[in-house]
Amino acid sequence: MRAPHSLMRPSLFVLVLAGMSSLPCHAQNAKPEPPEDTREFHLLWPEGAPYAHGEEETDRPRVFPYLLPEDQRNGAAVVVCPGGGYGGLAADHEGHQIGEFLNSFGVTAFVLHYRLGTQDYHYPTQLADVQRALRWVRHRAPEYGIDPQRIGVMGFSAGGHLTSMAGTLYDRKAYEAADETDQESARPDFMILCYPVISMSTDYGHKGSRVNLIGDPKVTPDSEAARSVSSELNVTDDTPPAFIFQTMEDTVVPAQNSLLFYNALLEHGIPSEMHIYQKGPHGVGLFRADPNTGAWSNQLKRWMRGNGILGSGERAAISGEVTLDGLPVSWGGITFTPEDPDLPTTTLRIRRGKFSAPAESGPIVGKSAVTFEASIWEQTRAPEDGVIRTDRLSPDSAEPLSVAVKAGKNEVSYELKSR
Average pLDDT over residues 159-187: 98
CATH of 42-306 given 3.40.50.300, 3.40.50.1820, 3.40.50.10470, 3.30.70.3280: 3.40.50.1820
Residue 32 binned pLDDT confidence (cut-offs 50, 70, 90): low
Going from the C-alpha of 164 to that of each of 25, 44, 298, the distances in angstroms are 47, 20, 22
CATH for 317-416 is 2.60.40
pLDDT tens for 368-397 read 999 999 999 999 999 999 999 999 999 999
pLDDT of residue 38: 78
Average pLDDT over residues 2-24: 36
Average pLDDT for the chain: 92
pTM to 2 decimal places? 0.89
pLDDT at residue 2 tops 50: no
User: So where are the chain's domains?
Assistant: 42-306, 317-416
pLDDT tens for 357-367 read 999 999 999 99
Going from the C-alpha of 92 to that of each of 55, 89, 96, 320, the distances in angstroms are 24, 9, 5, 50
pLDDT tens for 33-90 read 667 777 899 999 999 999 999 999 999 999 999 999 999 999 999 999 999 999 999 9
Give yes or no on whether 42-306 and 317-416 have one common fold.
Answer: no
Amino acid at the residue 90: A
pLDDT of residue 300: 98
pLDDT of residue 31: 58
pLDDT tens for 304-326 read 999 999 998 999 999 999 999 99
pLDDT of residue 34: 62
pLDDT tens for 203-223 read 888 899 999 999 999 999 999
Rounded to whole angstroms, how far apart are CA atoms 119 and 136? 24
Rounded to whole angstroms, how far apart are CA atoms 216 and 234? 22
Residue 349 binned pLDDT confidence (cut-offs 50, 70, 90): very high
80, 99 contact by CB (below 8 A): yes
The CA radius of gyration of the chain, in Å to the nearest whole number, is: 27
Give strand pairing partners of 335.
347, 371
Which of 34-43, 198-207, 294-303 has the highest average model confidence (pLDDT)?
294-303
pLDDT of residue 4: 37
